[in-house]
Amino acid sequence: MFSRRATLIGAAGLAAAPVLLTAMHARAAEEVTDTSDAPPADVSGLQRIRRELVPPPFVHEHEQVAPGAPRVVEFEMTIIEKEVQVAKDAWLQAMTYNGSIPGPMMVVHQDDYVELTLKNDANNLMQHNIDFHAATGALGGGSLTLVNPGEQVVLRFRATKAGTFVYHCAPGGPMIPWHVVSGMHGCIMVLPREGLSDHAGRPVTYDRLFYIGETEFYIPRDESGAFRRYPDAGESYPDTLAVMNGLVPTHVVFNGAVGALTGDNALSARQGERVLFVHSQANRDTRPHLIGGHGDLVWEHGKFSNPPARDFETWFIRGGSAGAALYTFLQPGIYAYVNHNLIEAVNLGATAHIKVEGEWNNDLMEQVMPPTAFEVASDGRTALP
């Protein structure tokens, strides 16, 4: 059964983004799931715990093994529309959860209840919501969380499936892909209550967790080839749509920008540490690869009820999903974590670096002879032994 709800953006938003709102977004009503006849879930006997979200690539405090019975885990996120710098010469009118691209990662345990307070900042122009791939029913919560600027909503769902899952904005129709590639996506990890286990069912833990959220951007160019810059998202929409429909991204990045996880922003670890990489892509396929390392244990589909695969060189993340890979760093140095479409990694930005401290082990790799000039024959050919 459905009810109808008015879609209101406000006079300021209509004035600021007339093309967007009249063409696509100013619908007279929005269908949402009517839950008024269903009895409320009784969670009064469950412990409540509040988690403070942190920006990617890091994740909030959490236990790897559930400390007891299922809990209600409370989160709060604010939707923020803002301009972000994607590259030295490119700016995006972004839509974000909590101001970051991707949105913050959430961690709960299977059978916990996720209780999210979602706020749409009053300064925003547009309507937004959230679709949890980890949730059951109501378009993943999308039809129960549609909020206008200045509104908030509280959604609660039980995390029945263990694994890594995408969440994203899905306000309806052509707005869905635009909001997603403008930054409105993130990841939730639902751990088994007993924690992770390897291919033989033995418990495994991680020392660090890095969340890599991959996004492709479609930034329009002007007649000279320079990237355009817009005063707000509404003004950018018609030109952005034309680039999006060409299916050729201008940038493919980790965590919101070219260089977001390289140079001074590189991740760090120590030799011997087990690092869990969680990688999400809300819109298109990608192929993570750790140059100089491997996926010791890989949950390529991101579902922890399935045994992990072992010793992958490159793994595959389907568009609209998240996966996880565990690696123990054995050598110090700089590791590159890339999308192994190397054009996208090198030319478009999908690269991260991990600086690993420790002592070099020549048994694993050794330079037997440094670069040395070799003899060249009189005819210019290399002298063969």
Active site residues: 128, 131, 133, 168-169, 179, 184, 289, 313-314, 340
Task: Indicate the pairing of strand 208-217 with strand 251-254.
Answer: antiparallel
Measured over all CA atoms, what is the biggest interatomic distance in the chain, rounded to whole angstroms? Answer: 92
Return d(Cα 287, Cα 285) in angstroms, integer: 7
E strand spans, 135-272: 152-158, 163-168, 185-191, 208-217, 251-254, 267-270
Amino acid code (one letter) for 76: E
Distant-in-sequence, close-in-space partners of 328: CB < 8 Å, separation ≥ 6: 272, 273, 274, 275, 296
Q: Nearest 10 degrees: CA dihedral of 140, 216, 78, 152?
A: -40
Is residue 343 within 8 Å of residue 248, measured between CB atoms?
no
| Residue 45, Cβ density class (10 Å: 0-12 exposed, 13-18 middle, ≥19 buried) | exposed
Return d(Cα 125, Cα 148) in angstroms, integer: 8
Distant-in-sequence, close-in-space partners of 172: CB < 8 Å, separation ≥ 6: 27, 30
* Structure tokens given for 228: 């355009």
CA 197 from chain centre, in angstroms, equals 24
* Structure tokens given for 184: 């409105």
Return d(Cα 368, Cα 94) in angstroms, integer: 50
SS3 380: coil
Smallest CA-to-CA distance from 183 within 283, 316, 53, 76 is with: 283
Return d(Cα 106, Cα 135) in angstroms, integer: 13
Terminal-residue alpha carbon distance, the chain: 82
